[in-house]
Structures are given as C-alpha cells and as structure tokens.
Amino acid sequence: MRTDRQNRSPKFPAVIFAGLLHTAAGGTWPGVGLLALLGAVLRRLPGAGRCHGGWGKYAQGLWSIFVAAQVLGWTGSCWEDGAAATWAPPLLLAVALWLAAKGPNALSNAAGVLGLLQLGLAGAVLLTAVGEIRLQNLTPGLIWPGGWLLVLLLLPEEGKRKSLAAPWAVLCSLVTVGVLGYAGEKGYYEMSRSISFFGAVKRLEALVAVGLTAGFTVLLAKLLELASAGGKYWPGAVAAYILFKSGVSIPGIYAAGISAFLWCLLPTFLQNKNNETC
C-alpha cells in the first residue's frame, strides 16, 4: 500500500527530464548507456536515497544547494538571446522557491503537468529528427557524457522508483548524435535549430527552450525541497544563487562521485551501521 508521502512525490523522470535532455547529448549513446547502467546499480543499493535525519540529511542538503547552483547555470543556455543568462536564473529560482514553499502536493502536481509538456515537446522534436539521422553517425566511439548526467540519475526520490530516465537519456543521445554527430551538452538544443518539420525548415528552438525552462524550474524546486531546513526554503535558494553568481563549480566527474557517495553509499552505510534508515 502506498503512503501519502509516496502519493505526493513528484513523478520521475519528470523532475529531471530537462536535465537529462541537456546532459545526455554531451556523450555518445554507448557512453550514456553505460553511465545509466552504473546509475541503476547504485540506486539499487539498500537504503540509497534521501536521508530524513541526522548529519546525513544536512550533508545531502548542502550538496543539493550546490547542484541547484549548477542547474541555474543551465537555465540561460537554452535561449538564443544572450541576455537570458542574466534574467533566467533569478526568475526561475524565484518561481521554484514559490513552488517548493507550496509543499509536496504542489510540486507533485507541477511535475506531472509540466512533465507532460516536456514529454510532448521532446517527443515532437525527437520524432522529427529521426528522419534526419545519418547512419554513419550511429557507430560513434565511446565518449562519456559529463558526470552531471549521473548526478541527475541519482537524485533522491520518494516512493516507487521509476526506470524511464535511463532509456530517455540513451534515446536523446542516440538521436542527437545521429543527426549532428557529437555536439556537446547543448547538442539537443542545437539539433532543434537544424531539423526540418514536414519537409520545411522550421526552427523549433523556441519550443525546446520553453520545455527546458519548465523542466529546470521543477528540478530547482525539487533541489530546494531536498535542501530545506525546518520547513524553510529561502536559505537554500539564496545560497544557491550566491554560489551561481560567484562562479563556483567543479568538474562533472567529481560531482558524480560526490552524488554517488552522499545519495547512495552514505545512506547504505548508515542503514547497515544503525540497522535503520538515516
């Protein structure tokens, strides 16, 4: 029987879907597939996920703030207008803060509605792009995506774990690389600028930007929820924005390692040590 908390939890992979599209295109599909497999193994560790008490909860909260600062850097990259890098981060952070403060039910509802929007837009773009895949691009070498993809795949969630994140990540990488060849993290957005729609060249980047923006907002709200202390969300939002503006960042491979430790290995260790969830 599902608990109330499980019913209120955001749908997965809707919460991280925009992040998947953004990061999965940073590697070839074999690399994305292997990284997704690693994420699935780590997520199956007993106790892996969110700590609800003790120092583990605070360590995870601090890391969630750092991840939110990284996501803020992505929010302006999905718009052609260079000014978006200025207005998008504070605006989306404010909306995410409002959404997180509304409580788990509001976040769950937003994830469900915006998740459908993201899926619809991404499905249209990917289906349109299939006709422009170049077969020679489907046999690429092994290029690993940035470690931030694994960070998203390991993001703690409540309730029943979903398994759709990995296939979507592989599909995005497969189509993007098939159309453009290796294109880096912004490959999905760049692909939307080059594909044609029903035989006519139609630039779809505006629709892609809308979908990614909606998705990043939900992801930020989830991270603020993970970073909340005593029901207060604004300290995490302020800290994330300060980190973002100060340009603090680490390589993706280190971020992946920290996420694996804090969100999978640490909860497992604490559960085995105390014989209870952390």
pLDDT tens, per residue, the chain with 278 residues: 444 444 444 445 788 888 988 888 878 888 888 999 999 899 888 888 888 778 889 999 999 999 999 999 898 777 776 677 788 899 999 999 999 999 888 888 888 888 888 888 888 888 888 888 888 887 767 778 889 999 999 998 754 445 678 888 888 888 888 888 776 777 787 787 777 655 444 566 777 888 888 899 999 999 999 999 778 999 999 999 999 999 988 999 999 999 999 999 999 888 776 655 55
Alpha-carbon dihedral angle through residues 207, 211, 213, 214, given to the nearest 10 degrees = 140
The conformation of residue 178, written as its DSSP 8-state character, comes to: H
pLDDT at 244: 94
pLDDT at 197: 59
Q: Look at residue 82 and give its three-state secondary structure.
A: coil
| Cα 137 to Cα 94: distance, rounded to the nearest angstrom | 41
pLDDT at 162: 55
pTM over 0.95? The answer is: no
The conformation of residue 136, written as its DSSP 8-state character, comes to: G
pLDDT at 1: 40
| Cα 176 to Cα 185: distance, rounded to the nearest angstrom | 10
> Based on the number of CB atoms within 10 Å of its own CB, is 153 exposed (0-12), middle (13-18) or buried (19 or more)?
buried
Residues 268, 273, 275, 278, CA torsion sign: negative
